[in-house]
C-alpha cells in the first residue's frame, strides 16, 4: 500500500481507530494531505496536542470540524480527496435500542451522505468500517450497520467505477472506547466485589487497534469495489477475559443487555456461498458486481462464529495479549 502523495480523509478521525490510523499513516507514508473529519473540537485539540507530544511530524495533517449528517459539510471536506476511510458511527448497542432514530441518522443517512459526497468529488476509493453485529443483526445498531454496508455495496452501481466502494467487517477492538476492559480493570481496586457478567456463555471476536488499522489499509489497497473484507481473528469467552484481568474473583450473572447476542458472527451461512478464504482473511464478494460470486459453491457453506471459532483463546493467552498491548 502506497499512500504517498495521496489526499486522504478519515471520518470519525478522533476515535480510537481514527487516531491510530492517523499515527500509522504519518509514521509510514508521506501523504499530500491527511484530513481528520469529526464533530468534537475538543477531541481534535487533544489529538493535535498528543501528536505534538509524541513528536509525530504532522505538517500535512488537517482538522475539519463537521458531522456526517451534514451533506454540504461533507461535500466541502471531500474536495480533492483521493481516499475516504469512513469510521464515523454511533456504536453503543444498548443506547441504540433507546435512541433508534439518532443511530439511523448517523449510521444510515450519514453513509448515504458519504456516498454522494464521494461521487460528487470524484474520489478514487471509499472503504467503510463495519462490525460483526451487522451479520444476522438483532440489535438496532447492527441493523443500521447492515443497511450502511448494503448502501456502500449498491453505490458501485451509481459511481460508474469512480469511486469504488468496499467494506471491512471485524469484531470488538480491544482497548477502544467502549471496550469492557476498563470496566473489568476497575474491579481490581474493589476488593471482594463480584464482577458483573451478562452471560456465562457469551463469546466475542477481538482485534487490536493496530491490527485493525493495518487490515483496513491492506483492504483499501486490494479492493476492487463491492467486497466485504473479514480478518481471521481470535475469540474468547467474556468470563475468561474477566478472569484474565481480575484473577480469582467471583462473578455474578446480571443478564444480557438489550440488543446483545450470546455469540457474534462475522460471516453468515448465507453469505459464505459468496466468500473465499485466503491465508489471513476472507472476502465476501458482491452478488451484484463480482464474477467470483457467480461461482457459488453450496457444498462449502459455513458460519464464522465467535463460539465455534478455531482460534479460541484461554485465560493465559488473553493475559499475554493484554499485557503485550499494555491494556493491563
CA distance 210 to 174: 10
Please identify which residue in the block is written with the cell numbers 500509522. Answer: 24
Longest CA–CA separation in the chain, Å: 62
CA distance 184 to 242: 6
Catalytic residue, from 133, 145, 243, 273: name it.
133
CA distance 26 to 8: 11
Radius of gyration of the chain (CA): 20
Active site residue 200: no
- Residues with catalytic annotation? 133
Amino acid at each position: 500500500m502506497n499512500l504517498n502523495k495521496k489526499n486522504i480523509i478519515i471520518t470519525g478521525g478522533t476515535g480510537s481507530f481514527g487516531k491510530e490510523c492517523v499515527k500509522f499513516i504519518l509514521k509510514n507514508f508521506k501523504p499530500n494531505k491527511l484530513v481528520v473529519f469529526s464533530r468534537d473540537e475538543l477531541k481534535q485539540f487533544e489529538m493535535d496536542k498528543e501528536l505534538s507530544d509524541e513528536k509525530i511530524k504532522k505538517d500535512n495533517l488537517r482538522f475539519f470540524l463537521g458531522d456526517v449528517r451534514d451533506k454540504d459539510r461533507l461535500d466541502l471536506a471531500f474536495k480533492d480527496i483521493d481516499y475516504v476511510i469512513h469510521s464515523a458511527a454511533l456504536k453503543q448497542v444498548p443506547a441504540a435500542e433507546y435512541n433508534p432514530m439518532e443511530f439511523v441518522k448517523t449510521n444510515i443517512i450519514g453513509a448515504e451522505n458519504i456516498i454522494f459526497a464521494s461521487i460528487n468529488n470524484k474520489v478514487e476509493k471509499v472503504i467503510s468500517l463495519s462490525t460483526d453485529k451487522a451479520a444476522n443483526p438483532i440489535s438496532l445498531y447492527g441493523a443500521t450497520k447492515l443497511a450502511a454496508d448494503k448502501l456502500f455495496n449498491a453505490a458501485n452501481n451509481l459511481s460508474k467505477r469512480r469511486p469504488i466502494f468496499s467494506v471491512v467487517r471485524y469484531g470488538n477492538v480491544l482497548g477502544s472506547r467502549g471496550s469492557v476492559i476498563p470496566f473489568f480493570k476497575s474491579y481490581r481496586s474493589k476488593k471482594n466485589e463480584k464482577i458483573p457478567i451478562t452471560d456465562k456463555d457469551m463469546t466475542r471476536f477481538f482485534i487490536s487497534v493496530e491490527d485493525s488499522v493495518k487490515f483496513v489499509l491492506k483492504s483499501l489497497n486490494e479492493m476492487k469495489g463491492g467486497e466485504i473484507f473479514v480478518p481471521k481473528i481470535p475469540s474468547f469467552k467474556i468470563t475468561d477475559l474477566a478472569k484474565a484481568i481480575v484473577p480469582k474473583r467471583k462473578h455474578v450473572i446480571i443478564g444480557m443487555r438489550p440488543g446483545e447476542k450470546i455469540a457474534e458472527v462475522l460471516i453468515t451461512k448465507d453469505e459464505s456461498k459468496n466468500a473465499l478464504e485466503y491465508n489471513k482473511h476472507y472476502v465476501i464478494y458482491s452478488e451484484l458486481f463480482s464474477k467470483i460470486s457467480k461461482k457459488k459453491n453450496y457444498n462449502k457453506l459455513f458460519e464464522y462464529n465467535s463460539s465455534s471459532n478455531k482460534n479460541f483463546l484461554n485465560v493465559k493467552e488473553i493475559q499475554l495479549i493484554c499485557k503485550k498491548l499494555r491494556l493491563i
